[in-house]
């Protein structure tokens, strides 16, 4: 079974909700935050496109620790076979 049943933590989902409401948050932060919030449901998992975005964020020096934390959470909840 390739389904990954990990869920976003309460703290991370709280941070993600705050980011989505922050008009100063970058497009990438908002995108990652939306993904984290959608994964409160254990039946949801990260799609291949978002996995690619999250991977690039983690490899880059230009993103904040908070943005990288969102990206890491999404990757930890990706399809186990990808």
Q: Can you tell me the distance from the alpha carbon of 20 to that of 15, in angstroms, rounded to the nearest whole number?
A: 9
For the chain, what is the mean pLDDT? 85
**8 Å CB contact between 40 and 15:** no
More confident residue, 80 or 53: 53
Among the listed residues 75, 5, 73, 19, the one whose alpha carbon sits nearest the alpha carbon of residue 47: 75
* Count of positions (residues) in the chain: 82
Exposed, middle or buried by CB within 10 Å (0-12, 13-18, 19+), for 74?
buried
Token couple for 34: 């939306």
Local confidence band at 9 (pLDDT 50, 70, 90 cut-offs) = confident
Question: Does the pLDDT at position 65 exceed 60?
Answer: yes
User: Under DSSP, is residue 25 helix (H, G, I), strand (E, B) or coil?
Assistant: coil
Token couple for 31: 């995108």
Rounded to two decimals, what is the model's pTM?
Answer: 0.81
Would you state the pLDDT for residue 24? 96
């Amino acid at each position: 079974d390739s389904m990954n049943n990990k869920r976003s933590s309460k703290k991370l989902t709280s941070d993600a909700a705050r980011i989505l409401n922050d008009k100063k948050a970058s497009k990438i932060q908002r995108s990652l935050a939306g993904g984290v919030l959608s994964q409160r449901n254990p039946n949801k998992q990260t799609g291949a496109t978002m996995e690619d975005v999250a991977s690039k964020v983690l490899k880059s020096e230009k993103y904040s620790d908070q943005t990288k934390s969102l990206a890491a959470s999404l990757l930890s909840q990706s399809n186990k076979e990808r």
